[in-house]
Amino acid sequence: VSSLLVGALALGVVALTAPPANADTAVGGQRLVEHGLIVDLPAGLPKPPKVAAASYVLADLDTGQIIVAKDPHRRLRPASTLKMLTALTLLPRLDKEDTYVAHRSDVLQYGSSVGLVEGHRYTINQLFLGMLLPSANDAAHALARAGGGVGTTRKLMQAEAERLQALDTTVVNSSGLDEPGQFSSAYDIALFARAGMARSDFRRYVGMRTAEFPGELRRETYQIQN
Secondary structure letter of residue 14 according to DSSP: T
Active site residue 185: no
> Measured between alpha carbons, how far is 207 from 1 in angstroms, rounded to an integer?
9
Phi, psi of 222 (to 5 degrees): -140, 160
Active site residue 83: yes
Of 80, 175, 184, 185, the active-site residue reads 80
> Measured between alpha carbons, how far is 56 from 11 in angstroms, rounded to an integer?
11
Of 55, 83, 184, 185, the active-site residue reads 83
Of 135, 175, 184, 185, the active-site residue reads 135
Active site residue 174: no
E strands along the chain, which residues? 4-6, 37-39, 56-60, 66-70, 99-101, 121-123, 210-214, 221-225
Active site residues: 80, 83, 135
